[in-house]
Each structure stands twice: as structure tokens, then as C-alpha cells.
Chains A and B, each alone.
Chain A
Amino acid sequence: MTLRPRHWLYSIVYGGPVWLHSVLQRSQSEAELDEELSFHLERQIQEDIDRGIDPAEARHRAQRGQHRIAHVKQECRDVRRIHPLEDLVKDALYAFRTLRNAPVFAVTAALTIALGIGMSTAIFSVTDAVLLRPLPYPDSSRLFMALRDMPKRGVEDYPMSSPDFADIRNESMAVFEEVAAVAIANRSTVILKADGTPEQVHIQSATSDLLPLLGAKTILGRGFSEADGQAGTGQPEPAILSYEYWQRRYGGDQTVVGRPIPEIGAVVIGVTGPGFELLLPPRLGLERSPDVWLPLRVSNSNAGRNAAALRMIGRLKPGMTIAQAQPVLDAIAAGFEQKFAVKATSGFAIRLEPMRHYLVAEVQPTILALTGSVVFLLLIACANVANLLLIRTSTREREFAMRASLGGTRFRLTRQLIAEALVLAGIGGTLGVALAWAAIRGVQHETPLTPGLASLPRLNAIGLTGAEIAFAVLATAAAAVLLGAVTAWRAARPDVIRILRSNGAIASSGRGGTKFRNAIVTAEIALSFVLLTGSGLMFRSFLAMRHIGLGYDPRDVLIFRMTGLQRDARARAAFGSELESRLRALPEVKAVTSSSALPLAEGYQVVRWGKEDEPADTIAGAADYQSVRPGYFEALHTPILEGRGFMPEDDSPASRVIIVDDLLAAREFPQESALGKRLLVSIPGQGPQRYEIIGIVPHLRNASLAEIGREQIYSTEALAGYPISGYWAVRTSGDRAKCTAAIRAEVEKLDKNIAVSGMPRMLAYVERAESKTRFSVLLIGVFAAIAALLAGLGLYGILATMVRQRTSEIGIRVAMGATPSAVFRLVVGRGMLLSATGLAAGVLTSLLLTRAMTGLLVGVHPADPLTFLGTAALFLAIAVAASWLPARRAAALDPAASLKE
């Protein structure tokens, strides 16, 4: 009969219910079978009696009939395919017993699988939460950031000004269903708690449509209205509380609506639902769960046309694709370039980016690299266990041959082996899920081992959900099938006669088996080589990053910010000078300074600059700008390469001096010293002016250690109008807690209305910048170490088995005059041959794969020869170590004894 697909389909449709009935309603189905067959038997007896057969003979026949019926029933069950289920249980129990007799093997194999499954499930949970799961907003697939780029200045994602946003919103109605904006800076201020103790409260401004756009529910009062977003009503600002702040500060008071918040001149109009988060990349420095929302006023006035104020989020209309929407925005951007000369010189582009991608773009390469590594680890773990199983089956060949000769079919033997693999994988998988659970908990509670993870977006969405369990189950099933198939394929074809005849002194398990195991070990070595090179490259990047001269000494420097400063610039200037002298008077304080921005913190503004004689409208250089207090470089131990630092007399609105970094100096004045030269710079609030360069300092990495970043320009604070939000940096000696308390006390003595933020160490910013790499280095390093260990064990297993199986051959060699060292070389040489093959494959794979890591590497090429050579050397060392014991054993063999064996 040929296989007809329709036939199978019908079988399932018609036979399925019958099968289900037999399986699910087991007892009823059994009873029916019983009844059917005993009916038959009774009729048979009746027939015999009717035919006049001797009653004794009839009874005898009936008894035989009973026996037969048991057999018939079994056949009927077989036909109904109930049998395999039962057998599987039997096989599994038998497998348990066999494994219990080999505890070392069973524990090693199960733990190896557990490690593979556990690690990959844990990493998958991160991948799932961060990269795969949609954002927790309605129709989140249609949410896009509309980012403003300045292509001609090489600046991406620069905040928009309020009037730009208003214009873009009006002109892009064809593509967006809803549009909103968030302010680029969130404020935090100190508000007294109900019991009178001060508390830092985070305030975020957003246009009135942001909360509805992101699906925030209003559980009390109302949301922002259109009118709330209008400028200048003179009324107190309407404020919406987060559910969490409402509970914390007001104890969930239902009558909170209408309550004023005098500290920020606002009045409560509503409360959002619990758990609402603003998911934007951590580098923007916005609070993920703001306590208070204020309306962001959108102005049409051209005055603020060039200010950086907000970022735009929009939901595309249903059915609208990014390919359809982007040209519309391109046209709008082109219109802007025509209307505004400044935008033409810098270039003006509006780039749509999916909101989810915007959130995770920074961490995506790391997570993908980790996912890749962990898949390799899982493969290596499986290969290792497969190897163990193969070695084990080779030692059990006699058992299998015996069973085969006693009538065990190949099918039965195979099934038995698959059952063992299933049991092993099952135990390993269960342990693995437990391991993953522990690992995930470890990740969520920041430990010294997992620094910087807090900056991972959507960290709290990471967990063992259905998807993770499904992943673990699938991985376990795949491992089981793989292991079962590998072993069954090898072992279920025993050459019965040869093995049984060979009386135990069998030379080897057949060339095929050895080749197969060698292939697995070679693959294992190749896979772990890839992991080790990956981790080596990461480690080199990490070292390179450490070697990047910071250009300042972040040790023993405390950073703080203040809110509630005086509104008047001159008052702020006076306050600053007073605070500086008071802090400097403290015995623990060695130096004090302040700046509008600090490296690796936030706060840099991008300013335009050009040659002294260029037309002001077309200057197109872009530099990071910060205004600093005189003595800034000295306080941070930044060397001044040429010229001098700012003096107190430079700190006047009339002064026209700047300090630039060596990058800008080298670019603009390659042949001569930049000192004393003049530049046209558009410092915010000053408009384009000419400034004299009085000093040159080293270039600092402001945004990230991995990127060089823009050129840098410094001015005194007077030119920037004594910024209201800046950083203070205090170089201290001695106890940190004592210093913190002393600084706070000084500020309070000066002005009770000023709130001081937390006081992190400047070093913490450096550590945070390193942490992304450090975390990857750590994890990939751990994976690689495990992989190398597994590969070493695999190699050891192969060689040890080889020595055991070739004992008599080695005995003959020794008897024929081979020296122990020759035997030693034979075994080690075998190990080396396997490793070299694996290494060659590993090098090729690595060359292909490490290129994908480029985004993660700093100062090191993906095909870095040193890393590759170092890893190869390490591997050869591991191979020698793994060969050592078996080789020693082989060399020490007593020829007489081994031949007898």
C-alpha cells in the first residue's frame, strides 16, 4: 500500500477520537475490550456444547481461551497504540535505575545540561524582555520617535525646540494619528512628606497628549486638557501625580484633587494608574517613573526657535508604514532648511525610529552577543554530554549485544537509549530552570557582580514567564532528541557476534564510533574557541578602555547638584562664590569647582563654531560646550597643555576668552599653536561672538568611553549667565559620609531653601560608563571559561577511553620495544591532532562571527591577532593538560598485564 496523505488525514480525523477514547478513558476502554472478548469466548463455549463436545473438553478449551484472550487484548492495545505510552514509562523507570548505577556519569551529565539550559534560559529571559516583548503601551508597534538630526554637523538625536515641534506637529497630521512631546530635562525638587521630612520628588513635563498617547490611565480626577498646554494663564500649574507618589505622599487620599503643591506652584488635577513608566533610553537621564507630571507648554514664538527643549513621539496612522511616513517628514524638514538659515547650515532632518528600537538600540549588540555566546555554550554542553553518553555506550556494548542476541529488537534498544537521554535531559532541564530562576533574581537585585545592570531598559520586565519556560522546555527537548539520536545511532547496531566472541578484550569499539566521538570533540573545541576569542576580544576592549586617559582624576571627587537656587543670575554668582570659599575652608576638602556639565554625566550643550572671519549664519562646527568656574581644570587635575586655565578675573560677562580641547586645536590649527587665535562661537544666550583661545586642554570622553565624541569648548560661567542647574565637584580626603554631611550642612547654613541632590562619587560615572563592557566581559568570560572546561573534559574523556580501549595494542607496542615516552607522545599527539583540527575550525568560525561584535569593541580589531594567538595557545595548553593523565597512564602500562587483559 502506498502512502497517501489523504489516508493519514482520514486516520487522524476518524481514528483520532477512537485513540483518544482508548487513552483518556482508559478503564472504560479496557472494560469494553474485556466485555467484547468474553462475549466471544462465551459464544465459543456455547457453540462447543451445542456441537456436543464433551463438557470437560469444553471447559479445558475455555481455560485455554482465557489465556489466549490476555494475549489478544495486548494485541488490541498494541493496535490502538496505547502501548508505547506505557512502555515509555517503563523505559524511563529502567533508565532511572541504570543511571543510578552510574552516579558520577549521571550527575556530571545532568549538571552539564543544567548549566547549558539554565544559562541560556536566563539570557533568553533578558532577550525576551528587552528585545522581543512589545512596549507596554497600546498599539506600541505604531509608536515612533521623530528624532531631529543635524546631518551637516554629524549630530544625531538632538532635541527639538518648542516652535519646531509645533510646526512639525501641524504639518505632519497626514502621517500621525497622535503626537506628543517630553521635555528633555526632568526636574527634581525637595517636597516635604506628610511627616515633615524632605523628599526628592521627580517632575517630568510633557505635552498634554503624552499620557493618553502612552495609554496611562487616569484613576482619579482628570488628565491634562488642551487648555493646560496653553502658555501663560497665571494660574497654578495643573499637576498629575503618579499612583505610586499618590500612595506614598498622600496615602491614596481620594480627595487629593484640587490640593495645591506650593513647592512647585502647582495644583493636583489627577492621578495616573499604577505602574506607568516612561520608557526612554537611560542615557537621556529621564526618570522612568516620574512622581509628578506637569504640562509642557508648546509655544509658536520664534524666540525659542533654536533652543533644545523636547523630544517628539508619535503614533502613525493605522496602515501607515515608516516607508510612507518618512518622505513626508523629509519634505517638512526640507521646508525648515529653506525657512531658517541656521537649520540649513547645520542640516535639519527628522528621522523616524520605532520607539522600542530607540529604547534598546544601545544594549542590543550586547544582548545579541550574549545570546550568541549562550547558544554556543548550550551546544558545547550538549556535545559534551553526547560524548559522555557515547563513551558510556561503548563500555556497555556487551550489554547491548547480549540483549540483541536474546531477541531485543533494534527498536527496543534505541528506545531504551532515548529514554535514558530523555531522563537525563529532563533532570538537567529541571535543574536548569531552577538555575535560570536564581540567575534572574541575581540580575534583578544588583550585586557587585552585576554592576550597571540597573541601566538596562525594562529590567523589571525580566522574569521566568511562559515564554521562558517554553524556551527551556524546547531546549531540553532538543537536547534530549539530539543526545538520544546520537547515542542510538551509534549503539543500536551492535555487531553481536564480534563483540560477544571477543571475550572482553575488544580492541576498540569500531572505527566508526571513534571517528564520531572525535568529530564531536573537535566541534566542541571549535565552539569553545569561538567563545574564548569573543571573550578575549571583550576583555581587550575593557583593558583598552581602562587605558584611555580620562584626562582628569575622578577618585575622591564627590558630585552634587542643587535645586531651588535664586532666580537672579547675580545672586547665583554671589552664592556660588560664597559656597566655594566655605567649602574650601572645610578640612576634608582639597578643591571645589562647578560646571554646567561633567564628563560621562549629562549636561553638555552642542554649540556651533567656525573661523573668526566666517559669516555668523553659516558656521557649522559642532562642539560640546560647558561653562566652568575658574580653577575647574586644576580642581579636576586636568592638565593644561598650553596656555592657562580660567582666572577669577576671566569670570565676567564682558570677557571674551575660551579654552578648547586639543582635538579642536589640531583640527582648526594643524600647523601652528591655537593659543591666542580667535574663533567664532555661538554660546547660548550670547549669539555668535569672537573669542580668544587662552588655553588648550586634553580631549575628554564626555558621552561614552567607547566614542571619541565631539570637540570641546569651555567658557566661564559668567558668559552662560551662571547656569541654574549645574554640577559641583568636591575633591575630598577622608571619610565620604563625613564629607557629605559637612557639605550639606554648609549649603543649609547658606540657604535653607536649597535642596542638595544625592552625592555620588565622580568615579561612579566612570564605572557606569565601563559597566556595559564590564558586564559583557564578565558574562561572556564566564561562558567561555565553562566552555573551555567542558571542552577540556571532553578531550580528556576521549583520550582516556582511547587508552583504555587500546590497552592491549599499547601493550604490544611496549612489548615490541616502544619506550614509555613514545607511548606518551602517541597519546598526547592524538590529543594535539584533535585540538589542532578543532582550533582550525574555531579560527575560521571566529573570524566570521567576531565581526558581528564590532559595535562592542573598543580599540581592538575583531580579528585581533594577539587575541587569536593567545586563545589558541591557551587551548593547546588545555589540550596538553587534558592529555596528560591518560598519556601518563598509557606510558605506565605494564606490557605483560595489559596483554593479558
Chain B
Amino acid sequence: MSRPADLVQGTLDLLLLKILALEPLHGWAISQRLTQVSSNILQVSDGSLYPALHKLEQEGWIKAEWKTSELGRRAKFYALTRLGRKELDRQAADWARLSTAITNVVQLPDLN
């Protein structure tokens, strides 16, 4: 099981932005969705999730809104902002370059 601490530094932001790009969600749903779409590989603890969400909100990349959740209780839903969309594109592109580069290096055939 991969813990967020094992995530490459800074990728949590990217993951959160990406998940919120699909639809506005509250914190719990975000963590569930992340586990689900990564086939249980990526899990994020509440201790990392909420500070990260608050930081993204502070940056102006996501905005929060109190709405009624599926169970009828009030919950804080986060949604991507226009600025967040740009940031997502930028970070996704960075990630793509970085991961390609790493993959290329890792896949170099051994000499012997």
C-alpha cells in the first residue's frame, strides 16, 4: 500500500486538482475517489488531505462551498476554479514530462 508520504513530492496537489476537475466533491468523497480510481494504490490520510485542500483553497485554485451531501448532511464541497484549471494543466504537463523521463531512465537496458 502506498502512503501519501511515499508520493512524489507535490503530486498530491496534482491528484486533488485532477479529481476535482471531474466534479466538485467533499473531502471524504475525494479520498474515496482517489482510492477508487487508483485501484487502491493511492491512499491519502485525513492528516494530509485537509491541509492540502486548505492550501489549494488559499492559493485560489479551488473554491469551497457548503452544500447538502448525499446523506442529507451539510458538507464542504470543493470545486476547481479557472485558475485551478490552468494550474492543473501546467502540473499535469510537468508530471508527464517528469514521469516519461523517469520511465525512460528506469527502462534503460542493463549492460550485462
Contacts and interface: CB of A to CB of B under 8 A. Distances in A.
Interface string A4-48: 000000110111001100000000000010011101110110000
Contacts of A19: 58
A73 B106 CA distance: 39
A41 B57 CA distance: 21
Nearest to A46: B71
B58 A10 contact: no
Contact of A36 (B27, B47, B61): B27
A1 B76 CA distance: 29
B50 A39 contact: no
Given A40-B28, A76-B51, A15 B46 contact: no
Contact of A40 (B10, B46, B51, B60): B46
Given A36-B27, A39-B28, A14 B83 contact: yes
A5 to B, nearest CB: 15
Contact of A15 (B28, B47, B58, B74): B58
A69 B59 CA distance: 23
A851 interface: no
Given A14-B81, A36-B27, A43-B28, A79 B60 contact: no
Residues of A in contact with B, size category: 20 to 34
B26 interface: yes
Contacts of B59: 10-11, 14-15
A18 B51 contact: no
A75 B50 CA distance: 8
B29 to A, nearest CB: 9
Contacts of B58: 11, 15, 18-19, 79-81
Given A11-B59, A72-B47, A79-B55, A39 B81 contact: no
Given A11-B58, A72-B51, A76-B54, A36 B46 contact: no
A78 B58 CA distance: 11
B75 interface: yes
Given A39-B26, A43-B28, A71 B47 contact: yes
B76 A36 contact: yes
A68 interface: yes
B3 interface: no
B46 A37 contact: yes
B75 A36 contact: yes
A521 B66 CA distance: 61
Contacts of A68: 46-47
Greatest chain A CB density within 10 A among B26, B28, B74 is at B28
Contacts of B69: 39
A20 to B, nearest CB: 11
B41 to A, nearest CB: 19
B62 to A, nearest CB: 10
Nearest to A19: B58
Contacts of A76: 50-51, 54
Contacts of A1: 10
A40 B29 CA distance: 9
Contacts of B76: 32, 35-36, 39
B67 to A, nearest CB: 12
A162 to B, nearest CB: 73
A18 B54 CA distance: 9
Nearest to B91: A1
Interface in A429-457: none
Interface string B1-17: 00000000010000000
A72 B26 CA distance: 16
B83 to A, nearest CB: 6
Contacts of B50: 36-37, 40, 72, 75-76
A69 B47 CA distance: 8
Interface in B12-38: 26-28
B75 A72 contact: no
Interface of A: 1, 10-11, 13-15, 18-19, 32, 35-37, 39-41, 43-44, 65, 68-69, 71-72, 75-76, 78-81
22 contacts: A10-B60, A11-B59, A13-B60, A14-B59, A14-B60, A14-B81, A15-B57, A15-B60, A18-B57, A18-B60, A19-B58, A35-B76, A39-B69, A39-B73, A39-B74, A40-B27, A40-B28, A40-B46, A43-B28, A76-B51, A76-B54, A81-B58
9 nearest A-B residue pairs (beta carbon): A14-B60, A75-B51, A43-B28, A15-B58, A79-B54, A79-B55, A36-B76, A76-B54, A79-B51
Given A41-B46, A76-B50, A78-B51, 14 more contacts: A11-B58, A15-B57, A15-B60, A19-B58, A36-B76, A40-B50, A44-B46, A68-B46, A71-B47, A72-B50, A75-B47, A75-B50, A75-B51, A76-B54
